[in-house]
Chain A
Amino acid sequence: MALKNVKRSIDRIFDKNLQDLVRGIRNHKENEVNYISQCIDEIKVELKQENVAVKANAVNKLIYLQMLGYDISWAAFNIIEVMSSPKFTFKRIGYLAASQCFHSDTDVLMLTTNMIRKDLGSQNNFDAGIAINGLSCFMTTDLARDLANDILALMSSIRPYTRKRAVLISYKIFLCYPEALRPAFPRLKEKLEDPDSGVQSAAVNVICELARKNPKNYLSLAPIFFKLMTSSTNNWVLIKIIKLFGALTPLEPRLGKKLIEPLTNLIHNTSAMSLLYECINTVIQGMQSHGSSIQLCVQKLRILIEDSDQNLKYLGLLAMSRILKTHPKAVQSHKDLILQCLDDKDESIRLRALDLLFGMVSKKNLMEIIKKLMIHVEKTEGTQYRDELLSKIIEICSQNNYQYITNFEWYITVLVELTRMDGASRHGSLISSQLLDVAIRVKTIREFAANQMAAMLENAHAISGQLRRNGMQEVLFAAAYICGEFAELIEKPDSLIHAMLRPRVMTLPANIQCVYLQNIMKVFAIALIQAEEEEDNERALNLTRVLLEKLSLFLQSSYIEVQERASSTLSILKYIEKLQVKESLVAEEFSILFKGELNPVAPKAQRKVPVPEGLDLDAWINDPPSSSEDEQPEEEFPKKIYDELYSPTREKRKEMSPEEIKKRKEERLQEQASNPHYLMNKKQEKKTEAADGYQKLDAEVDPGLAGELNISVPLHVPGLPSSERYLRMEQDRQRRAQAEKTVKKRHKKRGKKKFVHVSEDEEEDIAPTHAVDIVQEEMPEGAAKTDSENETTKDDPYRALDMDLDSPLTPSETLPRPRHHEVRSKPDEEKVVKEKKQKKKHKKKEVKKHKKKSRKAPTESLLVEEPANEQVSEVTQNTPDTIEKKENKAEAKDDLSFWLSNSDAVSAPEAAKKVEGPEKVVQVNGIEEDEDDHEVAPAKEKKKHKKKKDKKETKKHKKKHHNVNDTVEMEASSNLQLSSYKLLGENKEIKLEFETRSSSREEKKIVVSCLFENLTENHIKNIEFNILDTLNTRLVRTGGENSHDAVPIPFSLPALSRNECQLQLTASSVTMPQRMRGTVTYMVQDQEHTKQEKLDFKLHLPCSAYLVTTPFSSVFLFSFSNHFTKLLTSGDVPDKASVKVDSKGIPLDHVLQKLCFFLKLSVVEQVGDSASLYSSSIQHHHICLLVKAAANGFISVDGKSNNASLLSNIMDQAKEIVQG
């Protein structure tokens, strides 16, 4: 046996190895492909061998072939075999092959999970290394989910070599499986301070990548990074951190202030150019308000740009363009340098310089800069750079609604000149659309433009060759259109008509020919009017006849659209001719055909038209075509198109059922068979269809017929005038145009007329030649006014990673976020849950269990798929009999989350205790998940609460939120209706109510939970909520929105429905009540239209909004009264206040209940007629109250606190409450 093995291995010595393969390929230069296919055959044989060494060798060769472009995915299974070999040598080959050719869609990857897990846990750190390395190249969602724990474990491996890799690959895990981010984040954070610099660098790397997409979630890491920045000496780490700060500083201005000093120090001192450059970048991005630092940056950048090293020059320009956005002045003073860079031999640098110029233009220097650029266009050879230049010129001129153009005649001339530039360009249509835009929107320029275009058209036949070569034919489209539309401004319409009828026109693309035809008629209408005014019937008739004669050519066009237009035009002309012969006046009537002002439409107008209610754009208008239609004989097909296009009954046809169609078809076929004329008919038909087919690039044209079609071609080649003459004419014209331009320039300087277009630019001293009226583009009615197009792609992997990482334990998060698995465990599993709660630090284990469970209950995982829908669907599904049950659940949940929210280390065991209760619902995935859940739970429950409005519920509600002490709870069975929802604002359409929530974890944040109720029968959507920030209190707005933007509410309200949204506010001080003004805007949509409405409101935040129910008992479980007394007697609560109020006969218990409910107090101790109550603010002020029932129905309240202002405000509130 052993001998056999040896023999086999010896046999295999002479298998080709990788080197042999490479050598072989090099030796078969002539028939490389043959040789390789032969090698692949050999490899296939080798892969069938049992010996892993042979397989590994084969796979190794495949890796090489893959690099040469050969698909090796067929060997995927063999690659996995090699990966699973216990020997490192082979394993490495296997993983390398996998990393080269596997990807997320490779189906065999699902076989690898356990193997990879084994390798990750291998004793040999290189095994783990190559496994992680391979995994990094072919991570899938499944692998990420299944291996997240293993990777997490490796992140605390003792070997830096493995740890480093585990940290780095965690990014890929997060990308594929965002749910892993929150559980893994604490550990990742830990690694920022790892003793090994490689691990540290990896952690920085990962967090930088994460933060690049969602910077705001990582603001809280700023202190750690700041420490790293000042302590680290590794330039790689420094660069990454500085880049990260670049993303963070725009979100937190105070950070910029803190950073400015170390960064300027670095800028001054560092010798590493890469570091210097990144520092500059960060200062530019985040510290724009520090003028002196920006100045320093600009100086440094100038040095970089002047450097002989092209790399530095390039980067200098790149950074300069970033400064330009915020400090254009600082850059403009370096115009000389930048213009100089346009002459650089390096294209990258020229492109950068161009970019800069874009931002540097002003009214003053626009013409000068464009002139320089035009010279560059002429000089350059590379088409790509020329194209770039061309589009840049247009971009520069047209930016900001032509802000910098003072003389549109000049601009038209520039555009016309651009069309003449030698060398191909793909920007013909761009120029064309510019011409159209300018001519349509700038009324005063129309005459000039129309005549320029007329001149262009008249010369078109001479330059058309040139134009075609340059890809500029599209310009003729604009020219023809402008001439037609503004024909009354043209000096010599007759000659223009003649020019536009030249047979050469028929070589133009079809769409341009169509425009020609249409616009010839417009010009003709004007010419007729002129002729009739001059009573020159001769001229009119002549013109008509010329048109009749020339247009008939177009009848033979191979483009069906052209043909059709020509034929209808001709029949109109014939009619006109008839009238003209009778000497009747036709011009006026005829010109009515082309009347009507044309308004520009905004490019986004169509998209902004709101979709009317009840219109489903995805629904079929007619029934989807049945497959039977596809089965029609091939030759029938063109006829069908023809029928559909021209049959007057085609509307009807559309409604026919497939059966009918089939029947009809059969009938028709029979008819055709018996019709002696059919053959002829068919031929004619085919001819038209061939034309049609040509346009549609349909390959159905009969070759014989295609020959017939070519008849039209020789017809449009009459004797052309010598091109040379036109060339000279052209040059003449150009000179004239040039002269005209300079005249205009001079003229411009003397310009006296007022500039209508408003601009704050202080360079307004240049008055434009014409009164420029840039017509605003039209927008549809009811278009959404926001400019945000909501174009963010839904499948953006980074969006899923946008989650709050700082406040894992807050009871309320304001926005719906991706959540973790939420699994409802069975009662027998609660024990496990309890254990987990206690071991909440061991997340690894936890997640594992959680996963096990999620597999057990696959249906639950749907929750994860559609977290947004959950809320709605559950609410709507509530039938009365389930409400009660759900309420219990919600209550349990709420209690739990409440406890968790208060749980520092102390309350964790209590949380566990709570779970032991009879509750059916528990969160399994650890602490972090609970508060995610919470955000839904209260909302759900609130809604129900509102629906039923019965007393019992209200009571429960109260309990839920305010965790009243047991004694009180008992008495709470007496009926008391308490709701903490207060009216925020109301009009006849919408009603807003709110309540506030706070958490001791968030020192500066409170949550306003706002209930929106639709009072109409219509749909309300696009709700936006905004509050006028005060110095103290601000609305938390997501992402880059600035402080005035409204927060969009993530739902719409169907008729008579309600929904709740939580909004976060930050408060820097909690000792004073706040009054804020705000607005809710929304759109109401009824059958016909949508209207925008708004509701102003005042948000009153009493001091109690900042209080957190803090049961004293939860902190001092056993001897609370002692501690309470201690607190009172110690100097910690020096401020005192007291009031005495008439309680109007309300029993003390009710008073206490109300106080507890509204002021978020909790009873510490109740003895006889007095009770002590306690609460603390989110900023940890103590509030201690002693409530006593005094004689004659009076109630006295004494308060102690460590903040006088807070206390007095609370006392005021207490007074109001007691008084009812």
Chain B
Amino acid sequence: MIKAILVFNNHGKARLCKFYQHYTEEQQQHIVRETFHLVSRRDDDVCSFLEGGTLIGGSDYKLIYRHYATLYFVFCVDSSESELGILDLIQVFVETLDRSFENVCELDLIFHVDKVHNILSEIVMGGMVLETNMNEIVTRFMEQDKLEKSEAGLSAAPAKAAAAIKNIDLPSLPKDLKLPDLSKLPSFR
């Protein structure tokens, strides 16, 4: 069983938290911090397995992680999972993200955490591995996206337009870009 899946960046900022066991929000934050603390002090050339997270797991549990550029992908799993298998699974997850977002970067995860959740739910369900075939995962995800778009239909057009304006050139968005005028357009009322 997988107990939790955490994605955070090099500074410990959570980008995705999925717990398959109940923790309060406070505990979740503690776990993220502790995990970051454990993982971040390890060099890149050491092994990807870690024991000793005290907050999450226990003797039966392991942290298995991979580090991609600015992001850590950490899976907390028990002994029924194959260690190398989970490493592969992380790879599958990241490659799926890459295909779904077209060259995924941290910003995609920041702004579309809901999508990341949806993709993840095609791979892992309730702590158990659901699907490992990348094509299947991507296809299903795309199908749902299409369904969503068809549902939105015409009525969503204005919202989409607004979102498009807001999201112009998102990855290179300067941090201080504000859109005050747009939200105050009086003519629509």
B185 cross-chain contacts in A, Cβ below 8 A: 14
Residue pairs across A and B with Cβ atoms less than 8 A apart, 30 shown, are A13-B188, A14-B183, A14-B185, A19-B111, A19-B170, A22-B110, A23-B111, A26-B110, A60-B114, A63-B114, A67-B14, A69-B28, A70-B25, A88-B147, A88-B151, A89-B148, A92-B118, A132-B125, A137-B20, A164-B131, A168-B126, A202-B130, A205-B129, A273-B84, A274-B83, A274-B84, A277-B82, A277-B84, A310-B48, A349-B46
Tell me if A311 and B80 are in contact (CB < 8 A): no
A137 contacts across to B, CB distance below 8 A: 20, 126
Nearest-CB residue, chain B, relative to A239: B82
Residues of chain A within 8 A of B20, CB atoms compared: 136-137
B84 touches A13 (CB 8 A): no
Chain B hits for A345, CB < 8 A:
43, 46
The range of chain B's interface size is: 35 or more
Asked whether A198 and B189 contact (CB < 8 A) given A17-B163, A19-B111, A315-B84, the answer is: no
Contact B46–A11 (Cβ < 8 Å): no
B129 near A13: Cβ-Cβ < 8 Å: no
Nearest A-chain residue to B46, judged by Cβ: A346
A residues within 8 Å of B by Cβ? Answer: 9-14, 17-20, 22-23, 26-27, 60, 63-64, 66-72, 87-89, 92-93, 96, 99-100, 103-105, 124, 126, 130, 132-133, 135-137, 139, 161, 164-165, 168-169, 171-172, 198, 201-202, 205-206, 208-209, 212, 235-236, 239, 243, 273-274, 277-278, 310-311, 313-315, 345-349, 351, 384
Contact B16 A67 (CB under 8 A): yes
Given A14-B182, A243-B80, A346-B46, 14 more A-B residue pairs with CB atoms under 8 Å apart are A9-B158, A18-B114, A19-B167, A23-B173, A67-B17, A89-B151, A96-B121, A126-B144, A165-B130, A209-B80, A212-B80, A313-B47, A315-B83, A345-B43
Cβ A274 vs Cβ B82 within 8 A: yes
Whether A169 contacts B125 by the Cβ 8 Å rule is yes
A164 and B130 in contact (CB under 8 A), knowing A345-B46, A346-B47?
A: yes
> Does B84 lie within 8 Å of A311, measured CB to CB?
yes
Instruction: Tell me if A236 and B85 are in contact (CB < 8 A).
Output: yes
Residue pair A27, B178 in contact (C-beta under 8 Å): yes
**Chain B 14-26: CB-based contact to A (< 8 A → 1; otherwise 0):** 1011101010111
> How many whole Å from A440's CB to the nearest CB in chain B?
31
- Give min CB distance, A101 to chain B, whole Å: 8
Within the assembled complex, what's the spacing in Å between the Cα atoms of A1197 and B51?
Answer: 73
Q: Which of B76-110 contact A (CB under 8 A)?
A: 80, 82-85, 87-88, 110
Give min CB distance, B53 to chain A, whole Å: 12
* C-alpha spacing A280/B111, complex, angstroms: 44
CA distance A100 to B166 in the complex (A): 27
Contacts of B147 in A (CB 8 A): 88-89, 124, 126
Contact assessment for A236 and B129 in the assembled complex, using a CB-CB cutoff below 8 Å: yes
What chain A residues lie within 8 Å of B16 (beta carbons)?
Answer: 67
Instruction: Evaluate contact between A104 and B114: CB separation under 8 angstroms.
Output: no
CB distance from A211 to the nearest CB of B (A): 10
**Knowing A22-B110, A168-B128, A202-B130 touch, does A311 contact B25 (C-beta < 8 A)?**
no
Is B50 among interface residues, defined by CB-CB distance under 8 A?
yes
- Beta-carbon contact of A168 and B188 below 8 Å: no
Tell whether, in the assembled complex, residue B45 and residue A310 are in contact, meaning their CB atoms are under 8 Å apart. Answer: yes
Cα distance, A14 to B42, chains bound together (Å): 44
B52 and A384 within 8 A (CB): yes
The answer to whether B113 touches A67 (Cβ under 8 A) is yes
Contact with A along B111-125 (1 / 0, CB 8 A): 111100110010001
Residues A69 and B29 in contact in the complex (CB < 8 Å), given A10-B158, A22-B110? yes
B132 within 8 A of A: yes
Measured in the bound complex, the distance between the Cα atoms of B111 and A161 in whole Å is 28
Chain B residues in 8 Å Cβ range of A384: 52
A88 in contact with B46 given A19-B166, A69-B28, A243-B80 (CB within 8 Å): no
Contact of A66 among B25, B47, B148, B188 (CB under 8 A): B25
| A-side contacts of B118, CB under 8 Å | 92, 96
CB-CB under 8 A from A130, the residues of chain B are 121
Query: Are A171's CB and B82's CB within 8 A?
Result: no
Q: Chain A residues near B28: list those with CB within 8 A.
A: 69
- Report how far A347 CA is from B149 CA in the complex, Å: 49
| B46 close to A63 (CB less than 8 A) | no
- C-alpha spacing A172/B127, complex, angstroms: 10
A60 to B118, CA, bound (A): 12
Q: With an 8 A cutoff between CB atoms, is B176 at the interface? A: yes
Please indicate the chain B residues that have their CB under 8 angstroms from the CB of A208 in the complex. 80
Q: How far is the CB of A235 from chain B (nearest CB, A)?
A: 8
Contacts of B85 in A (CB 8 A): 235-236, 239, 274
Q: How far is the CA of A193 from the CA of B136 in the complex (A)?
A: 20
A579 and B182 alpha carbons, distance in the complex (Å): 100
Contact B47 A274 (CB under 8 A): no
Shortest Cβ gap from B132 to chain A (Å)? 5
Q: Which of B28-63 contact A (CB under 8 A)?
A: 28-29, 42-43, 45-52
B188 to chain A, nearest CB (A): 5
Asked if B47 and A311 make an inter-chain contact with CB atoms under 8 angstroms apart, the answer reads yes
Task: Judge whether A351 and B51 touch: CB under 8 Å.
Answer: yes
From the candidates A139, A169, A310, name the one contacting B47 in the complex (CB within 8 A): A310
